[in-house]
């Protein structure tokens, strides 16, 4: 069985061709999407889960490389009275619920795809990300196989044009190798990759009755990709499409960055970020920036490092508004920074249609609810919008002409700010088509899987 797999920054989805059309596979009831999150009661459970998927000869080599994690798993099962490690691993909404209920316990990660291309990853960390991605992929694969009632062995996995903006060639190589290793470990025997904006475009192309020059703007959770592609009846049945791809651009700027920036600028002032010190000096910004940068390994390491704790103790004595900084210390002690960014994400969604929004942060302090306006939100994220504008301009420059149609997709593209940006760049007369913002990439990957594996 062949499938398309959108291992997304925000959500995961899988598709296949059913009666000639790409169809998303229900994973949780009727829901075809699972948030890209994982919660492990013990981190070592992840390694044991992957070891169970391997053939005996591979399992021995793997066990030697993961001896520490597997020992932790054995101890964790005894401590928590768990027989099967699967009982201590949770995905998607269940993972989020476990984290919110007990943020100081277990191991929680959101959007690991954001880290796969990070520079400076040690071999041990690369191996851990391979296991982490494999565990999340396995959850989707097993649920899909249960629905389809057959094994899934061939897969086309979506990938952004660039996983990172810095040292893109090495970043892309590392990230794709991690995804490949993870997919092999859970039983995929044939693995191909396809740029995510092209996948979204292939889904759209199946509905085109005329040949068009299409600019696909895919604003996902972790990256924004733009592709100018020749599409239509004369192109869609070709396996070799290199000459149809007129321009590709991509950068690591997506919905997560909008959430984080909103949290930093709109919420952190209520935690003392702008409080002056008794010395007259400004409050150091880095602890607040690092706290909200949940997609940056280095930032999170620094935020929870002991030296940050010592700095906060010093700042509590020096700040002119100790009650505000106390909130920040409480958030750090209780590991609620992920939850704060989650509330920023919900606020971002609300401000797409509302003039104002109050962010409910009662889990930090009763009745705490900072307010922001849609106008203020637009000002906050203007720098990110300019990055997306640069990508659109670069793609059209590479193509040497403007598109006939702009196809907008990706969960973060639902914002009216993105449509307004496209209008400003390409003119009021340009045709703009909204795709299935969450499902078009997965659907297109299914289309391509059917073609390359037939």
Nearest to 341 by CA among 285, 300, 376: 300
Q: Domains plus CATH for the chain?
A: 2-196 (3.30.420.40), 211-253+383-435 (3.30.420.40), 256-381 (no CATH)
H or E element at residue 425: helix 416-426
Letter string b/e over residues 264-280, b meaning 16 or more CB atoms within 10 A of that residue's CB: bbbbbebbbbebebeee
Tokens standing for 294?
């949940």
Q: What are residue 208's phi and psi, to 5 degrees?
A: -85, 135
pLDDT digits (tens, 9 = 90+) for 345-385: 999 999 999 999 999 999 999 999 999 999 999 999 999 99
Q: Which residues contact 249 (CB under 8 A, 6 or more apart)?
A: 161, 225, 226, 227, 391, 392, 394, 395, 398
Polymer length of the chain: 454
157 and 104 Cβ atoms separated by less than 8 Å:
no
- What local confidence, expressed as pLDDT, does residue 197 receive? 86
Percent of the chain with pLDDT over 70: 100
407 and 443 Cβ atoms separated by less than 8 Å:
no
- What local confidence, expressed as pLDDT, does residue 161 receive? 87
Q: Residue 381 half-sphere exposure, CB side, CA atoms within 13 Å?
A: 31
CA 225 to chain centre: 14
- What local confidence, expressed as pLDDT, does residue 178 receive? 97
pTM comes to: 0.84
Q: Are strands 154-159 and 212-219 parallel, antiparallel or unpaired?
A: unpaired
Nearest to 292 by CA among 332, 252, 254, 350: 332
H or E element at residue 101: helix 92-101
- What local confidence, expressed as pLDDT, does residue 165 receive? 66
Q: What is the pLDDT along the chain (454 residues), one digit of tens a residue?
A: 999 999 999 899 999 999 988 999 999 999 999 999 999 999 999 999 999 999 999 999 999 999 999 999 999 999 999 999 999 999 999 999 998 888 878 999 988 998 899 888 899 999 999 999 999 999 999 999 999 999 999 999 999 988 886 788 999 999 999 999 999 999 999 999 998 988 888 878 888 999 999 999 999 888 899 999 999 999 988 877 878 889 999 888 999 999 999 999 999 999 999 999 999 999 999 999 999 999 887 899 899 999 999 999 999 999 999 999 999 999 999 999 999 999 999 999 999 999 999 999 999 999 999 999 999 999 999 999 999 999 999 999 999 999 999 999 988 888 899 999 999 999 999 999 988 778 899 999 999 999 999 8
């Amino acid at each position: 069985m062949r499938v398309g797999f959108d291992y997304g920054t925000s959500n995961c989805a899988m598709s296949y061709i059913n009666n000639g059309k790409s169809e998303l596979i229900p994973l949780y009831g009727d829901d075809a999407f699972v948030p890209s999150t994982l919660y492990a009661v013990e981190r070592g459970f992840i390694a044991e889960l992957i070891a169970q998927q391997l053939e005996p000869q591979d399992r021995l080599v793997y066990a030697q490389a993961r001896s520490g994690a597997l020992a932790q798993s054995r101890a964790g099962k005894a401590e928590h009275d768990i027989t099967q490690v699967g009982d201590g691993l949770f995905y998607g909404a269940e993972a989020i619920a476990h984290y919110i209920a007990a943020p100081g316990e277990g191991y929680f990660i959101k959007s690991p795809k954001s880290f796969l291309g990070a520079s400076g990853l040690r071999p041990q960390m690369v191996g851990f990300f391979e296991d982490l991605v494999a565990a999340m992929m396995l959850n989707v694969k097993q649920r899909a196989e249960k629905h389809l009632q057959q094994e899934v062995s061939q897969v086309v996995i979506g990938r952004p044009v660039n996983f990172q903006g810095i040292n893109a060639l090495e970043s892309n190589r590392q990230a794709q190798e991690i995804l490949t290793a993870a997919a092999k470990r859970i039983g995929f025997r044939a693995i191909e990759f396809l740029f995510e904006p092209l996948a979204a475009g292939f889904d759209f192309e199946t509905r085109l009755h005329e040949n068009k020059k299409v600019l696909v703007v895919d604003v996902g959770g972790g990256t924004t990709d733009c592709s100018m592609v020749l599409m239509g009846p004369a192109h869609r049945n070709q396996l070799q499409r290199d000459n149809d791809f007129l321009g590709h651009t991509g950068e690591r700027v997506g919905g997560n960055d909008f959430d984080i920036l909103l949290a930093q600028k709109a919420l952190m002032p209520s935690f003392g970020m702008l409080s002056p010190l008794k010395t007259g000096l400004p409050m150091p910004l880095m602890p607040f920036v690092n706290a909200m940068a949940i997609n940056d390994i280095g930032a999170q390491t620094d935020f929870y490092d002991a030296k940050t704790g010592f700095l906060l103790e010093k700042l509590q004595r020096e700040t002119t508004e100790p009650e505000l900084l106390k909130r920040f210390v409480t958030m750090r002690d209780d590991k609620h920074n992920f939850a704060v960014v989650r509330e920023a994400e919900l606020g971002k969604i609300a401000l797409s249609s509302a003039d104002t929004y109050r962010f409910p942060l009662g889990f930090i302090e009763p009745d705490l609810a900072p307010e922001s306006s849609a106008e203020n939100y637009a000002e906050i994220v203007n720098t990110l919008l300019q990055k997306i504008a640069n990508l659109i301009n670069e793609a059209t420059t590479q193509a040497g002409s403007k598109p006939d149609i702009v196809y907008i997709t990706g969960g973060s593209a639902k914002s009216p700010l993105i449509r307004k940006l496209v209008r400003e760049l390409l003119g009021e007369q340009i045709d703009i088509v909204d795709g299935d913002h969450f499902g078009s990439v997965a659907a297109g990957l299914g289309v391509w899987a059917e073609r390359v594996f037939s």
